[in-house]
């Protein structure tokens, strides 16, 4: 599906929710994941830039901007994990469809994030996050 169509579909779901057409929030199906997908990013943004933008809605504990293996250049999309899953709802509702440096971005929930395979250069904290995840702990 076209990324801009996805942006419009998410906005439509939010409108329906605001009008009270749905008995529960469409966000509820993602309550076990604190990860979001971000697409359409300008290629010159760094992880720090994305964190600065997205930290408006919560503490960020992990980010994975997808990069070209040969050149190391950012591919324009990535994944971000918040400390609190409720921040994902705010990010999806408020950032989906906005323009950053002239590009419309798409922000959506991720239900089953699969971390990239570990490399030799990975630090211990990131290794633990990938192993345990950063979704809310079930009591």
Using one digit for the tens of pLDDT, what is the confidence trace for 39-83? 999 999 999 999 999 999 999 999 999 998 888 899 999 999 999
Cα 54 to Cα 19, 29, 80, 102, distances in angstroms: 27, 22, 9, 17
pLDDT at 139 over 60: no
CB 78 within 8 A of CB 108: no
Give the span between the Cα atoms of 137 and 139, in whole angstroms: 6
Question: In terms of C-beta distances under 8 Å and separation of at least 24 residues, what long-range contacts does 63-72 make, across chains too?
Answer: 64/115, 64/116, 65/41
The architecture that CATH gives domain 3-14+34-131 is 2-Layer Sandwich (3.30)
CB 82 within 8 A of CB 61: yes
Residue 60, phi then psi, degrees to nearest 5: -95, 130
List, in sequence order, every residue forming a beta bridge with 80; answer none if it has no partner.
36, 63
The pLDDT tens digits for 103-128 are: 999 999 998 888 776 566 767 777 77
Q: Could you tell me the residue ranges of all domains in the chain?
A: 3-14+34-131
The pLDDT tens digits for 3-27 are: 777 777 777 777 766 666 656 677 7
Average pLDDT score over residue span 82-93: 93
Residues 6 or more apart whose CB falls under 8 angstroms from that of 124 comprise none
How confident is residue 28, by pLDDT bands cut at 50, 70 and 90? confident
The reported pLDDT for the residue numbered 63 is 92
How confident is residue 98, by pLDDT bands cut at 50, 70 and 90? very high
């Amino acid at each position: 599906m076209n990324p801009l169509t996805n942006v419009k579909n998410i906005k439509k779901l939010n409108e329906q929710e605001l009008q009270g057409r749905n008995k529960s929030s469409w966000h509820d199906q993602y309550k076990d994941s604190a990860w979001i997908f971000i697409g359409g990013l300008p290629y010159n943004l760094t992880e720090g830039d994305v964190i600065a933008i997205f930290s408006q809605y919560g503490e960020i504990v992990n980010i994975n901007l997808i990069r070209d293996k040969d050149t190391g250049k950012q591919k324009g999309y990535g994944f971000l994990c918040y400390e609190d899953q409720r921040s994902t709802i705010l990010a999806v509702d408020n950032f989906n469809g906005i323009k950053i440096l002239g590009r419309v971005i798409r922000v959506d929930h991720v239900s089953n994030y699969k971390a990239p395979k570990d490399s030799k250069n990975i630090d211990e904290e990131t290794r633990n996050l990938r192993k345990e995840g950063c979704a809310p702990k079930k009591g």
